[in-house]
């Protein structure tokens, strides 16, 4: 670890407790953070935009936005940051930790809710607690954004159909004049129930010190 540590060790300990990562994992992520930020203390959106591999990702903007979203910091604030520090970076990453063999059922439930909440926040861009039809349409459009004109035209229909499905399953008996305002968090949890988020939404965080061969700038 030749580089000078920008944080003393005790602060890592806080992070271990706050995010659930191991010390090794935090060190590795810190290295990556420094890489991204150019050895500064904070990273901004431009730093993340510059990652070349992200260019092919259709939902790049949403992902980057999620890092700067205050709601993902386990607090109650709304809005977004301009630049985030390492702590905030870690908090966002902690959403992607996998369950271990020792995770109890309650912990798994809590984990699932946290992950689903993360997804919800990604969709609910205006922060009103509901995913409206416009926002959902935007999601599907972004998903199909790399697929040309066919994608754009169908996106609307797909979003409408999906919204309808959510409404039908959650509020089956609506009168002809009622209006379904948007997908609330509970409804959102309901539709994703089948996907078992706690087992699917995770990535592998490196434990040991990484060989530089497998990392990229």
Residues within window 7-66 making contact with another protein, judged by CB under 8 A: 29, 32, 35-36, 48, 51, 53-54, 56-60, 62-63
Query: Judged by CB under 8 A, which of 3, 179, 186, 208 binds another protein?
Result: 179
User: Could you say whether residue 157 binds another protein (CB under 8 A)?
Assistant: yes
Return the closest-CA partner of residue 67 out of 115, 118, 112, 30: 118
| Residue where the block lists tokens 């809005």 | 79
- Do the beta carbons of residue 127 and residue 203 sit within 8 Å? no
Q: Which of 14, 77, 165, 209 forms a contact with another protein (CB under 8 A)?
A: 165
C-beta of 18 vs 157, nearer to another protein: 157
206 binds another protein (CB under 8 A): yes
Asked whether the beta carbons of 134 and 124 are under 8 A apart, the reply is: no
Minimum distance from CB of 160 to another protein (Å)? 6
The answer to whether 160 touches 133, Cβ cutoff 8 Å, is yes
Ramachandran quadrant class, 80 (left: phi over 0; alpha: psi -120 to 50; beta: rest): beta
CB atoms within 10 A of CB 116: 20
Contact between 107 and another protein per CB under 8 A: no
Quick one: which of 4, 105, 175, 208 contacts another protein (CB under 8 A)?
175
- According to CB under 8 A, which one of 2, 8, 38, 194 is a site residue for another protein? 194
The least CB distance from residue 109 to another protein, in Å, is 15
Nearer to another protein, 85 or 151 (CB): 151
Distance CA 3, CA 39 (A): 10
Query: Which residue from 143, 184, 185, 189 is in contact with another protein, where contact means CB under 8 A?
Result: 143
Distance CA 79, CA 132 (A): 18
For position 109 contacting another protein by CB under 8 A, the verdict is: no
């Amino acid at each position: 670890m030749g580089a000078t540590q920008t944080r003393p060790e005790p602060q890592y300990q806080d992070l271990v407790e706050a995010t659930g990562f191991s010390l090794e994992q935090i060190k590795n992520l810190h290295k990556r953070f420094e890489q991204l930020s150019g050895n500064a203390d904070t990273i901004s959106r431009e730093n993340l935009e510059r990652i070349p591999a992200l260019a092919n990702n259709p939902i790049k903007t949403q992902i980057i936005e999620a890092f700067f979203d205050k709601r993902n910091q386990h607090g109650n604030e709304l809005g977004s940051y301009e630049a985030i520090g390492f702590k905030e970076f870690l908090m966002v990453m902690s959403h992607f930790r996998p369950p271990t063999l020792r995770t109890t059922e309650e912990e798994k439930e809590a984990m699932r809710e946290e992950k689903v909440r993360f997804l919800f926040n990604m969709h609910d861009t205006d922060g009103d607690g509901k995913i409206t039809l416009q926002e959902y349409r935007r999601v599907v459009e972004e998903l199909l954004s790399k697929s040309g004109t066919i994608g754009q035209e169908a996106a609307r229909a797909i979003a409408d159909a999906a919204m309808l499905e959510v409404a039908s399953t959650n509020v089956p008996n609506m009168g002809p004049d009622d209006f379904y305002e948007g997908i609330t968090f509970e409804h959102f949890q309901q539709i994703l129930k089948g996907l078992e988020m706690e087992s699917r939404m995770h990535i592998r965080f490196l434990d040991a010190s990484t060989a530089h061969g497998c990392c990229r700038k």
